[in-house]
Structure 1
Amino acid sequence: MAGLVDKVKQATNKALASGSKITSTVALKEDNPEEGTVFLNKLSGKNLIVGVPGAFTPPCSSHVPGYVEQADKFTQKGIKNIYVVAVNDAFTTQAWKEKLGANSPIVHILADDTGAFTRDVGLGFDASGLLGGFRSQRYVAVVDDNVVSQIFVEDAAPNVTVTQAGNVLEALK
C-alpha cells in the first residue's frame, strides 16, 4: 500500500520551475547522520541547490568540484550558500565531501537519505538499473528568499553540461 501511495504522491509533485517556491519541509542531513538539520525551505537570501544522482559516481564527482573551486566567484555574484543534495545516506555524503576536499564554508553536501526532498521538488527518477533505486535528476536551482529564480536541469543524469559550475556562473542574473 505504501508503494502505491508513494507513486501517486510522486505523480502529483510538479517539478521546480522559475517562480516555484521550495515547500518541502524535509530536514536534510549534513553533519549528523541521525538527525536532519538543514531545511531548504527556510533559506534566506540567494542560494544554489545542486541536485546530483549519487555521491562517488564519476559524473557527480566531476560535477561538484567546480562549485567548490569557484565558490568565491559565486559569492561575488551574490550567492550566500551552495547546497549539494544527493539521494544517499549521511555517512556516504560525509565521506564524499572529504574525498572531494570540499572545504569551502559556503558549500554544504547534504544527504536526502530517503529521497523525500527530491520527491517533494519533483526532480527524481528511477535509477534502478544502475544505482539501485530512486535518485535525483542533475539540476541546479537558484533560489532567492525561497523562490526559484532560475533552474537548470540536465536531459540525462550522466550529463554535466547546463549544470556545470561555469555555465551556471555565467547565467546568474
Structure 2
Amino acid sequence: MAIQVGDSIPSATFKVKTDSGLDDVSTEDLFSGKKVVLFALPGAYTPTCSAKHLPGFITNADAIKAKGVDTIACLSVNDAFVMGSWGKEQGADGSVLMLADGNGDFSKAIGLDFDASGFGMGTRSQRYAMIVEDGKVTTLNVEQPGAFEVSSAEAVMAAL
C-alpha cells in the first residue's frame, strides 16, 4: 500500500555525491523538524525528467523556499554518482538536493516503486511530489503513468 497524507516517512538512508565523496543522508536528518519538498522521478537523464521535472524545481527554488520550505530534494532510483553528475549538469547545486535511492529501498518502502523492466530499467520510482512537515506527509501528488502534471514545481507551489 502506498504512503498517504498523514503518514510518517519511514526510516531510510539515501546516498548523496559531494565534492569529498559519498555521504549518507537519513530520513531523520532530512525531515525531522523541517518542511521539505521531495519529488521523485523515474530516472536521471530521461527526457521528461531532464527537460521539465528537475528544471522546474531549479528555476522555482527561491520561490518555493520563500514559502517556508527548508529543503527541496530530488529522488531517483539511480546511484549517487549519476545523481551528482546529472544535478551538476542541470545546475541543481545549492538549490535542489540530489538523493540516490540506489536499490529502490525507500521507493519500495513507501509503495511508490514500479517495474520498468520492459524498458530495460529495472525497478524505478513513480513520478510524484510530496510536502513533508516534521516527518509527516501533508501533500502527496502521484502522477499517472506517462503524465507530468501534478508533481511539477508549479503544482507544488500552489499546494504550499
* TM-score (normalised: structure 1): 0.84
Aligned to 2:90: 100
Give the direction of change, closer, same or farther, for the CA distance of 1:41–1:141 in structure 2 (3 Å limit): farther
C-alpha contact 1:87 1:136 (8 A) present in aligned 2: yes
1:117-168 deviation line (CA, Å, top 9, x unaligned): 1111110000111142100000111000000001000011x32111111111
Please say which of residues 32-41 and 145-154 is displaced more in the overlay. 32-41
| % identical aligned pairs | 37
Q: In the TM superposition, what is the alpha-carbon distance from 1:106 to its structure 2 partner? A: 4.0
Q: In the TM superposition, what is the alpha-carbon distance from 1:35 to its structure 2 partner? A: 5.1
Alpha-carbon distance in structure 1 between the residues aligned to 2:100 and 2:62:
24
Aligned to 1:37: 24
Q: In the TM superposition, what is the alpha-carbon distance from 1:26 to its structure 2 partner? A: 2.1
Alpha-carbon distance in structure 1 between the residues aligned to 2:71 and 2:41:
16
Secondary structure in structure 1 of the residue aligned to 2:17: coil
| Unaligned 5+ runs, structure 2 | none
**Structure number with higher strand proportion:** 2
Alpha-carbon distance in structure 2 between the residues aligned to 1:155 and 1:45:
28
CA RMSD of aligned residues (A): 1.6
- List aligned pairs for 1:140-155, cutoff 5 A: 140-155=129-144
- List aligned pairs for 1:17-166, cutoff 5 A: 17-23=4-10, 25-31=11-17, 36-42=23-29, 43=31, 44-61=33-50, 62-103=52-93, 105-156=94-145, 158-166=146-154
Deviation beyond 4 Å, 4+ runs, structure 1: 32-36
**Code of the aligned partner of 1:27:** T
**Code of the aligned partner of 2:128:** Y
**Code of the aligned partner of 2:152:** Q
Alpha-carbon distance in structure 2 between the residues aligned to 1:139 and 1:132:
18
Q: In the TM superposition, what is the alpha-carbon distance from 1:34 to its structure 2 partner? A: 7.4
Q: In the TM superposition, what is the alpha-carbon distance from 1:102 to its structure 2 partner? A: 1.0
| Unaligned 5+ runs, structure 1 | 1-13
